[in-house]
Homo-oligomer: A and B are copies of this chain.
């Protein structure tokens, strides 16, 4: 199948209860770190999805009452009518682009912590919070359940007032009361809300019925439900109770939005779940049981797979969270046959990390994500060039590629020079490691784009000196010269580095990623970066059959990956491969065959035998060319800018963003740029 015609099935309208979706592309609810704290940013971001062709655009979990207070996280909020205007911003903006707006009503039970409201915590049973905070939920009595149903009913009514077309009942991700009631791992009640499945599903059924009573004439009712907990026989399974739930409620909602629990499984990264459509085997039964339309997810980016899922009767709607973040215009690009123009999600969960930090969403592939309101960045539109005509970009890592691509889109003649033999910089290196191959999409997308353009010249194997740069005669220069991993042990735990005796076998991540393999004997991976790379390298070396000891000042492997929902899988993976973990220890000295480490708590020293050490600590910016150029006496350049890791080492997402920003801001008024930098949403001082 190929060409836009073959995809026409994806663009058929589909009825959902009383409302009609113009095509089969459905942005399921997903968090974005904007929510009630940044409603204008949220509205602009959701509207961009609608503009890009998503027929349904959902918001994110929406607190319905102070007893479900997720502060400090910035989800949506609909405690009472005062919250309606902020939500109305989104529905108006989505409607203006011709799409339906959906709201995900949520009461988070003991998943909420009520730190702002200080309200009592509620649950089906007596439940301790999962976080290390000593608070417990009380088992709801009958009057609590009646109250909760009233709150949900009122929230449904207010959803309609706010202009939503689809109202969710949310029983998924282990995150909400209806889900907690459904699952034996949270519910040990002995009344009519506990025990049998009929009893455990009662609350969900009541919410569906009551939501329909309130808004069913105008709004569709969606049920978001996790058919499988991915715990095997220790949890609900798709072919057992998961199916039975769908059978019990089959035609009660107007739409089934089905996935797997918990969130880390639903939103699995490519590192641990490389297959697009990885949820299909769990959810494919649903359409056999219900006559209502079904939406499912699975990091779909291939239109052929989408068509096949519809044709096979597995899905009515192609659901997406992450692919719609990486490319809000995915539907339109398929419709217009611009498949190669799709920015495919790399499954890195940097989007999730923003929500987990309580800050606005960002995306590795799509640097405009989260900037639709603040910087008015449009993923598909960029201003044409001004009076300057040409630009040189040095370095083809994520910052350089993105900068070059956007400059080319603006109409400049772009020359991109890469010192190495292949384009891609750190993405090329990192995507060669175990589990990270999908990250290569970051460079593939951009290299392909650049190759199609007549105004771009790409040079590899082209290391440039300052005088060579000047000789090129291109007056505008962007330096994306990157950063290299330090070899001296300097890092967050050792500002002055570590003592390294000569003769010690010391390697950096750059060495390993370039294919160097340390000689025989145990390899210590010392991770003072504590992000992802140390864990990936240890895994990579273990998979290559090497004996690995992983040492870190952190109390766990790769704590950063808690933000990407991967940490448990990362540490499990290393343990299962026999990697020895030495946690909460700081490296102080390396001698041939032996490393001295110090307890991060007591300072007590111990020795760890290892033939070699890979130091994952801190990066050194490559700024020599920049310093040379900026100090040239005769100032031959019109503009010179350092971008990406060479300016501020960070994530690949940060490098792409930096390259994008430099290209956008080139030739713009400095005052305008500065004003955007300060743009933010501010709390009202009106008395409440």
Contacts and interface: CB of A to CB of B under 8 A. Distances in A.
A679 interface: yes
A1 to B, nearest CB: 40
A552 to B, nearest CB: 10
A606 B119 CA distance: 40
Interface in A99-155: 115-121, 125-130, 132-138
Given A134-B560, A651-B135, A126 B621 contact: yes
A66 interface: yes
Given A72-B74, A136-B650, A599-B575, A683 B36 contact: yes
A64 to B, nearest CB: 12
Interface in A663-688: 677-685, 687-688
A530 interface: yes
Given A359-B115, A572-B601, A128 B647 contact: no
B559 A583 contact: no
Given A532-B134, A680-B688, A72 B359 contact: yes
Interface string A520-562: 0000000011111100000000000000000000111011100
A556 B556 CA distance: 9
Task: Among A116, A127, A496, find the residue whose CB has the most chain B CB atoms closer than 10 A.
Answer: A116
A59 to B, nearest CB: 15
Interface stretch (A80-88, A295-303, A466-474): A80-88
A622 interface: no
Task: Among A618, A681, A688, find the residue whose CB has the most chain B CB atoms closer than 10 A.
Answer: A688
A383 to B, nearest CB: 20
A562 to B, nearest CB: 8
A640 interface: no
A186 interface: yes
A425 interface: no
A207 to B, nearest CB: 21
Contacts of A685: 39-40, 85-86, 89
Interface string A23-63: 00000000000001111100000000000000000000000
Task: Among A120, A130, A684, find the residue whose CB has the most chain B CB atoms closer than 10 A.
Answer: A684
A507 B575 CA distance: 32
A654 interface: yes
A282 interface: no
A224 interface: no
Task: Among A89, A495, A529, find the residue whose CB has the most chain B CB atoms closer than 10 A.
Answer: A495
B647 A82 contact: no
Contacts of A86: 682-683, 685
A537 to B, nearest CB: 14
Given A492-B129, A495-B185, A576-B602, A688 B681 contact: yes
A491 interface: yes
A584 B496 CA distance: 32
Interface range for A = 35 or more
Contacts of A79: 678, 680
A657 interface: yes
A649 interface: yes
A87 to B, nearest CB: 11
Contacts of A619: 136
B650 A135 contact: yes
A649 B110 CA distance: 12
Contacts of A119: 677
A8 interface: no
Contacts of A37: 37, 683
Interface in A312-371: 354, 357-360, 362
Contact of A133 (B85, B495, B531): B531
A514 B137 CA distance: 26
Nearest to A35: B683
Contacts of A276: none
A648 B113 CA distance: 12
A587 to B, nearest CB: 15
Contact of A684 (B137, B556, B684): B684
A648 B120 contact: yes
Contacts of A73: 72
A309 interface: no
Contacts of A137: 648
Nearest to A661: B118
A9 interface: no
A71 interface: yes
A420 to B, nearest CB: 22
A358 B130 CA distance: 18
A602 B573 CA distance: 8
Given A680-B116, A685-B40, A495 B136 contact: no
A620 interface: yes
Given A120-B647, A128-B492, A555-B583, A681 B684 contact: yes
Contact of A688 (B40, B620, B649): B40
B649 A495 contact: no
Contacts of A491: 128
Nearest to A367: B118
B358 A71 contact: yes
A449 interface: no
A269 B679 CA distance: 39
Contact of A687 (B40, B185, B650): B40
Given A357-B115, A681-B683, A134 B688 contact: no
A682 B683 contact: yes
Interface string A573-585: 0011000000110
A362 B128 CA distance: 21
A96 interface: no
Nearest to A600: B568
A679 B683 contact: no
Contacts of A72: 72-74, 357-359
Given A116-B360, A135-B651, A572-B601, 7 more contacts: A38-B683, A39-B683, A39-B685, A72-B358, A79-B678, A126-B621, A681-B684
Q: What 5 A-B pairs are tightest by C-beta distance, nearest first? A: A72-B358, A134-B531, A132-B530, A132-B559, A115-B359
27 contacts: A39-B683, A71-B358, A72-B357, A79-B678, A79-B680, A86-B682, A86-B683, A115-B357, A120-B647, A121-B648, A127-B495, A128-B529, A128-B617, A132-B559, A134-B533, A134-B651, A136-B618, A136-B648, A138-B621, A138-B647, A138-B648, A358-B358, A555-B583, A571-B601, A583-B583, A679-B688, A681-B688
